[in-house]
Amino acid sequence: MSGSQLARAERNGAAYPLLLWVAVFAALCGSFYFGYQLGVLNPVLEYTLHSLDVEMQYGSLIVSSVLVGALLGSLGAGSLADNKGPKVAIMMATVPSAVGSVVSGVSWSAGSLVLGRMLCGIGVGSASILTPRYLAEIAPKTIRGAISSLNQICICFGILFAFILGSVYEKQPEYEGWMSIDWWRWMMVFGCYISALQGIVIAFCPETPVWLIWNGLHLQATASYHMLHGAVPDDMEQDDERAEEDTRMLVATESQYRNRRSRRDSPDSSGEISWRDVLHKKYRRIVRLACVIPISQQFSGINVIILYGANVMKMIGMSDSPMRSNMILGAINALFAILSAILVDRVGRKPCLVASFTGMCVCLLTLALSVGGSEPSHPLVAFWSLVGYICFFGVGCGGIPWVYLSEILPDEIKKDLQAVATAGNWLANLFVGASFSAFVALIGIQGLYLFYACCCALSAAFCVRYMVETKQKPLHQIHRELLILE
């Protein structure tokens, strides 16, 4: 069966094989692990510190240690995937994820817990790069957007699951799990099972056709495509030239293929471009968008809620059931991530993101006014302001920055600039997580919300001024609109 026949079968809606969905599930285990590790300390931080005899003032250090690891993991994951392949890179990333979960669970001091959380963070940072890439490179063109959107949805459900597991402490503050071991320790160790499941399942999945073709493995790429997309060639003895032609038509655009092929085959080129090239004037608009939008996501203040939700609930006066309120916010976050996946291709990236930042700004202002001074004045208003904030975050700011980033980066600078953008996102994440206690002590919870409200307002203005809408546009048109040509 030729490439054109296979493509026609895909357009006609032929059923996809089970292996495709197994591969999607394996990749999404990384997204679930990502969310779970972000949320796992939220409901149990107080009990964890008490168990280890650590003062509450060191809570921010322990919470933010996973973000330090994530920064390190995100910096190395892209190069690892380029050299070894996204599948192999995912398998390798499950090792620090699993080891870190076990070390966190058996930790005997604050230092050992920080070490374990940093190892978990390496897995989280790797997942933030590898999962979207693997999904995009194995997904059929007709459902690529839907499959890619599952990444953010599974992150949200991982956060929610961590909240649910931690909720047992609300009714039983002295709760001990199986074998009379502290329940928070079992929660930490649970991450090991997620990583082990991912490593085992992904081992039985093929490498991505895109990576194989870009590395000159044309026969393997064609075989991988057929295994994932369900079309079986009539002649399994295709020669190398025929296999290359079939796969080129199926997994890459003409421009991507020519760029990669020319760089790879050039005797005078190592296949890489320099940072001087990336910072060239013609890429200025792209660099600005790629750096600012992911950082703006974190300076919306979302991880104040994700990392310290139970504490925040007490600060705004929801002391009767902070964990239950936390779970409600987690469920809303997951539901609106699903809504975002529906709206992004209908309404557009720019309107969703502008509405998201604007709505979060209004909700944070309302939240700041409702908490008043040292004592919350309107706890219900504060709670519903938080609900609105989570809704606006989920519908735009949660997933769209990463969808947009994958669309605006030209192939020749994608790896380097994506690494910088992701590292910037994790650095901002680290700042938000590590500065929470210091900010609250310095300017109070009301001042903290006002600060992030201002950040959201600036982000909305930036999107209005600089974003180019990418909805239903081919990539070459997006790049042509953003490039500054001489």
- In angstroms, the Cα distances linking 381 to 316, 378, 456 are 9, 5, 20
Is the sign of the CA dihedral 347, 352, 358, 360 positive or negative? positive
Lowest mean pLDDT among 66-80, 257-271, 317-331: 257-271
Query: Based on the number of CB atoms within 10 Å of its own CB, is 53 exposed (0-12), middle (13-18) or buried (19 or more)?
Result: exposed
Question: Could you read off the pLDDT of 409-440 as tens digits, one per residue?
Answer: 776 677 778 788 888 888 888 888 778 778 88
Tell me: pLDDT of 387 over 80: yes
Q: What pLDDT, on a 0 to 100 scale, did the predictor assign at position 311?
A: 60
Q: Quote the distance between the C-alpha of residue 451 and its chain's center.
A: 24
Q: What confidence score (pLDDT) does residue 97 get?
A: 94
pLDDT value of residue 133: 83
Position 481 scores a pLDDT of 85
H helix runs in 40-109, sequence order: 45-51, 59-84, 86-105
How far is C-alpha 57 from the chain's CA centre?
28
What distance in Å separates the CA atoms of residue 37 and residue 26, rounded to the nearest whole number? 17
For 104-149, write each residue's pLDDT tens digit. Answer: 999 888 889 999 999 999 999 999 889 988 887 888 766 766 787 7
Q: Where is pLDDT greater, at 119 or 267?
A: 119
Q: Are 170 and 195 in contact (CB under 8 A)?
A: no
CA angle 339–342–343, rounded 5-degree value: 85
Q: Judge contact between 186 and 63, C-beta under 8 A.
A: no
Best-predicted range by mean pLDDT among 64-73, 140-149, 262-271, 372-381?
A: 64-73
Q: Is the pLDDT of residue 265 over 60?
A: no
How confident is the model at residue 354, as a pLDDT? Answer: 95
Q: What phi, psi does 316 have (nearest 5°)?
A: -95, 10
Mean pLDDT of 352-379: 82
Residue 233 CB contacts under 8 Å (≥ 6 apart), including other chains:
1, 222, 226, 246
Q: Which two tokens stand for residue 456?
A: 């959201």
pLDDT of 58 over the 80 cut: no
Average pLDDT, the chain: 79
Of the two residues 266 and 200, the one the predictor is more confident about is: 200
Q: pLDDT tens across 280-314, in order? A: 678 888 889 999 999 999 999 887 776 565 566 66
Instruction: Look at residue 268 and tell me whether its pLDDT is greater than 50.
Output: no
What are the DSSP calls for 110-172, one per residue?
HHHHHHHHHHHHHHHHHHHHHHHHHHHHHS-GGGHHHHHHHHHHHHHHHHHHHHHHHTHHHH-
Task: Write down the pLDDT at residue 251.
Answer: 44
pLDDT at residue 234 greater than cutoff 50: no
pTM recorded for the entire structure: 0.76
Rounded to the nearest 10°, the torsion over CA 132, 203, 191, 135 is 10
Res 249: pLDDT? 44
Stretch among 65-74, 176-185, 220-229 having the lowest mean pLDDT: 176-185
Task: Look at residue 453 in the predicted model and tell me its pLDDT.
Answer: 95
Task: Please give the pLDDT value at position 178.
Answer: 57
Task: Write the DSSP string, 335-360.
Answer: HHHHHHHHHTTTT-HHHHHHHHHHHH
Reference 210, options 230, 229, 232; nearest CA is 229
pLDDT at 31: 94
Burial (CB < 10 A; 0-12, 13-18, 19+), residue 9, is middle
Burial class (CB in 10 A: 0-12, 13-18, 19+), 54: middle
